[in-house]
Amino acid sequence: MTSAPRRPARMKYVLFDVDGTLIDAVSNQRRVWETWAGRYGLDPDEVYRVALRTRPMETFAQVAADRDPSEGLALLHELEDEDVRSGVYTAFHGASELLHGLPRGAWALVTSNYEHRVRGRFVRTGLPVPEVIVDAAAVEEGKPSPVPYLQAAARLGALPADCLVIEDAPSGVRSGIRAGMTVWGVNAAAAVEGVHRHFVSLREAVPHILAWTSGPPGNAAV
């Protein structure tokens, strides 16, 4: 009598936000928006305050409603691309250890930025680049829609229940939860509403994320 062949074990996957989660880009974002505001003669503090909670086109509508939004967006893209080339970027402590410790093909990036900028920042910080990057150009609906995380799972060949989302922002947390995934929050003093688990820093979360990937697949929220 021969035993039935074993089914291959289901993998578990980790989907990462980028800015604020793996890379500290706060000073870069502030500098870009301050320069943008200066070109239009606007109050940089007010522009940055609005930009933190809105998408670029919504920001333009609030702070520069009398200006051509396409012109404003082109300038913003120009400044962001220049910042990737010349700005100073820092990966959060633990990011390199974590990403190098995950199996290739078992993780992805899901960002509201653009892939070429993400790649540039990863080169600058020495972080490995995954096979799958879902950026702003890849989806019509951005976070907090579940679409970006669902697309990442599909491209990895993963079930949502087998995916762990690592996020720092409320919109990203809502996106992951709506996608039916486990969501852990990092790099914040207080937990974002809805997260299944919270860590003050990415460094603190590293061993738990690596342990999660080796556990049984399914809804393992803690």
Model pLDDT for residues 134-155, shown as the tens digit of each residue: 998 999 888 999 999 999 999 9
* Residue pointed to by tokens 């021969």: 2
Question: What is the rounded CA–CA span in Å between residue 198 and residue 113?
Answer: 24
Question: What is the rounded CA–CA span in Å between residue 222 and residue 17?
Answer: 19
Eight-class DSSP state of 203 = H
3 state DSSP class of 86 = helix
The 10s digit of each residue's pLDDT in 69-117 is 999 999 999 999 999 999 888 999 999 999 999 999 999 999 988 999 9
Strand 23-24 with 132-134, pairing: unpaired
pLDDT at 7: 45
Q: Is the pLDDT of residue 29 over 60?
A: yes
Under 8 Å between Cβ of 46 and 38: no
Catalytic residue among 17, 83, 135, 168: 17
Eight-class DSSP state of 217 = S
Residues 6+ apart with CB under 8 A from 34: 44, 47, 48
- Provide the CB-side half-sphere exposure for 121 (13 A, CA): 27
Question: Is 168 labeled as catalytic in the residue annotation?
Answer: no
pLDDT level of residue 214 (50, 70, 90 thresholds):
confident
Residues 6+ apart with CB under 8 A from 212: 12, 14, 164, 182, 220
At 165, which helix (H) or strand (E)? Answer: strand 163-167
Least confident of 12-16, 91-95, 125-129, 141-145: 141-145
| Residue 182 φ/ψ, nearest 5 degrees | -75, 135
pLDDT at 218: 62
Mean pLDDT score, 172-179: 97
pLDDT level of residue 53 (50, 70, 90 thresholds):
confident
Question: Is 19 labeled as catalytic in the residue annotation?
Answer: yes
Question: What is the rounded CA–CA span in Å between residue 214 and residue 192?
Answer: 26
Q: Is the pLDDT of residue 5 over 70?
A: no
Question: What is the rounded CA–CA span in Å between residue 37 and residue 27?
Answer: 15
pLDDT at 219: 53
3 state DSSP class of 198 = strand
- Provide the CB-side half-sphere exposure for 102 (13 A, CA): 30
Q: Which of 131, 129, 137, 195 has the alpha carbon at shortest distance from 166? A: 195
Catalytic residue among 19, 83, 162, 168: 19
Question: What is the rounded CA–CA span in Å between residue 34 and residue 196?
Answer: 35
Q: Is the pLDDT of residue 33 over 90?
A: yes
pLDDT at 215: 75
Under 8 Å between Cβ of 54 and 62: yes
